[in-house]
Each structure stands twice: as structure tokens, then as C-alpha cells.
Amino acid sequence: MSEIKRPLEGIKVVELATFIAAPCCARYLADLGAEVIKVEATGGDPLRFTAVNEGRPQDYREDTTYTLENANKKCIALNTKTPAGREALEKLIAEADIFITNWRQSPLKKAGLDYETLHEKYPALVYGFVSGYGEKGPDKDLPGFDYTAFFARGGVLGTLFDKESVPMLTIPGFGDHQVGIYLAAGILGALYRAKTCGQGDRVVVSLFHTAIWDVSLMLQASQYGDVSSQYPISRRQIANPLTVAHKTKDNKWLQIAMPQYNRHYPIFMTAAGHPELADDPRFYPQTNLQANLDEFYAFMVELMATRTLEEWCALMDANDLPYAIAQTWDQLLVDKQAWASGCFYEMEYETGNKRTMVRTPVVFEETPEAPYNRGPYLGEQTEEILKNLGYTDEQVAAMIAAGDAAQFSA
């Protein structure tokens, strides 16, 4: 029986992108077995220099953020603004099945790297594009980050917080990672058609549209005007207080998840020691509750404060009631379920330090698990890649000497 291969073995990907969303997509394709060549400017992807933002050392030998988005890739450092550097990029694209970028349209067209130009040359090429706000409309050329296009403009930051508080603290990569996986899904569909029909396509995923998709359930519901859907709102006005996080006696937060209020409410009340409230007409059924939300919320705050987190967990488990502890990152890093289900990988860097890295979230049953190789150093495979394209040792040396390319040196 032959060895099972990863799905994209034999597929070549060229990535010309920075920061997170597009590189995240390419990293996932690398996990699936594709050969991914990351083309970086000779100064490096800006993501290599964000250590201070994340409270970690600025050390190229132990760059967890860069590895997260660029594991299992090869890196060539090219100055694509010079004729020689641009020619090398063109040779890479000519051999590729997939091209991924997040450059804005104006510089892409100026460089002859826009979809129309490449599609005419390479009709079977799949072109993956990450956009801030989409490719049509008045704001299509605005710079896009997940802080702005996803969190703020996309309806997350202005709605998903308690009205009596302040907007949440956003974290980098939250929207980017969703965009990356969505883009990968589209690329794989386009790749299938390209391989069966010889016809490539351009796949576009924007941060803005992704955020709108993410909030779409309540966004659509908000059109009906009910107060419970007009976010931001006070947690006291949530239509179902049994889907809100509550504080326990020991000041821990427990997220209850009982969206079927009428089913779970009697069970919860009885289990919590208040069977007399199981059919109280103020709180049951849920339609009656809406006129008494403040009263019930106050009751829940008082009730949850009567038991510790451990006690509540035992009670919920005993009654098969859905919940989860609101974990902090230090708790998540030692979560036994996360480790057992393959969410994490322990990587040892050249510094001698071991760091917990996160795997991409798609798991296959039969396909071998992807390796987790650190992200390449800037230009680490420049010579190798150029020689594979047919450049001689002398030509490679001349390009590096002229600044058309760069090769990593410790």
C-alpha cells in the first residue's frame, strides 16, 4: 500500500504578501503539502519587527509570530523593483499553480502583477487576493488592517461590548486568520477547476466582508428593531441571560450557553436549588421573561455568587448543562483538551527555548499531520530557489552583490 500523501503535494505557491492574512493562507496551503515560496523585500516582511507590540524579544532566531504565519515555507528575498529582481519573480510565477498577494491594486498594476496581466500570460494560474474593503466601491483602495477594516468598520468593535463599558481591546491577527482560511477555501475551489478545466480565477476575500459575515446573524436580526438586537446594549438587556458570562463566588467568570431557554431554564433552576422558580411566570417561558429582564439578571448575579467556579462546574456537569470557563491565555496554554486534540505543538528554537505554537485548525483523519517547521529566515533559501530557476552560481552572486536579491547570513 502506497504512502498517503498530503493533499497539495506537487502544487507550487508563490506568495508576495506581508503581515498576516495572506501569509496565513499560504501557510495553511504549505501545511497541506504545497511548496510555498515566500517572496520578501530585501528589508523583510514588517511582521518580522512586531516583537515589542507582543511583549517578546526581538530575536530573529526565536520569532514565534513570524513562524505562526510562515511555517513550512521557503523564503527568497528579492528587490522586485529592479529588472533582475522582477525577472526572477516572473520566473517563479510562471512555474506556480497559485499566486497569493495583498498588495494594493495600484502598485500591482504598476508592476504588471495584477490579475488581468497575469491571467493573460498564465490562464490556469489561481490568483488569491486579500483586500481591506473589497475590490469595488469608493473605499476599495483604502489600506486595510484587522483593527480597522475588520474590527471597526466591520461592526465588531462598535457593537460587541457591554453598553455600560468601553469597546473591547482588539488583538492582532483575529480577523486576519479568518480571512486567511476563507481565502484558502476559495483558492482550493479555484484550483480544482484549474486542474480539471485549465481555467484559473481570481479569488478575493476582504477583511470588511469577513467581519460582516461574522456578525451577520445579529446584523440581520437587528432590522426588526427589537431592543435585544440593538447592540451595543447592556448585558442586563440580553434577551437570554442564560447565554451571558457570570461571575462566581471566587471572582471567576463562567460562560453559560443555554440558547434553548425554555428547555434549559427549568432544569437549571431546579439544579441550582430553586425548583419553585422553574415555572415562575415572570421568568418562564422566555416570552414572559422579556418584561422582567432586569429583575432576572439581578437574581442571576446573586445566584452565581453563591458558589465557587469549581462548585458550579460540578453542578453543570451533573445536570448535562452546557458551559465553559472563561479562560485566560495562561490557562489555555495548559488546557489538556487543547493538547489532546492537537491544537498545540512544542517548538524548540535555536535559542534553546521551547515555545508552544498553535497549529492550523483543520484536521484530517487519513492525511499525515503536517510538520511544523519554523518560519524561514529572511532570504534563507534565496540561492537554492534561484538555482532551481536555472541561475548559475555566478549569476546568483551577481544579483546578491547588486542588491537584486539577498541571502540570509547569521
- Best mean pLDDT range from 86-95, 164-173, 364-373: 86-95
> What mean pLDDT is predicted for residues 360-387?
96
Q: 34 is written with which cell numbers?
A: 504545497
Q: What is the pLDDT of residue 109?
A: 95
Annotation says 146 is catalytic: no
Residue labelled with grid coordinates 445566584:
303
| pTM strictly above 0.85 | yes
**Does position 403 have pLDDT exceeding 70, yes or no?**
yes
Total number of residues shown for the chain: 410
Name the catalytic one among 97, 114, 146, 176.
176
Side chain identity at 32, as an amino acid letter? Answer: L
The span from the CA of 142 to the CA of 144, in Å, is: 6
> What mean pLDDT is predicted for residues 31-53?
97
Query: What SS3 state is found at 152?
Result: helix
Q: What is the pLDDT of residue 409?
A: 85
Q: Return the CATH number of the domain spanning residue range 12-214+341-406.
A: 3.40.50.10540
| 340 pLDDT tier (thresholds 50, 70, 90) | very high
**Does position 2 have pLDDT exceeding 70, yes or no?**
no
| 135 pLDDT tier (thresholds 50, 70, 90) | confident
For the chain, what percent of residues have pLDDT higher than 70?
Answer: 100
**CA 104, 108, 113: angle at the middle one, nearest 5?**
140
Q: What is the pLDDT of residue 29?
A: 98
> What mean pLDDT is predicted for residues 224-237?
91
Q: Return the CATH number of the domain spanning residue range 235-247+253-325.
A: 3.30.1540
Contact 161, 167 (CB under 8 A): yes
Mean pLDDT taken over the chain = 96
> What mean pLDDT is predicted for residues 351-373?
95
| 1 pLDDT tier (thresholds 50, 70, 90) | low
> What mean pLDDT is predicted for residues 69-89?
98
Q: What is the pLDDT of residue 124?
A: 98
**Does position 245 have pLDDT exceeding 80, yes or no?**
yes
The span from the CA of 255 to the CA of 209, in Å, is: 28
The residue extents of the domains of the chain are 12-214+341-406, 235-247+253-325
Query: What SS3 state is found at 347?
Result: strand
Q: What is the pLDDT of residue 410?
A: 74
CA dihedral angle for residue 284, residue 285, residue 291, residue 292, rounded to 10 degrees? 20
The span from the CA of 200 to the CA of 98, in Å, is: 9
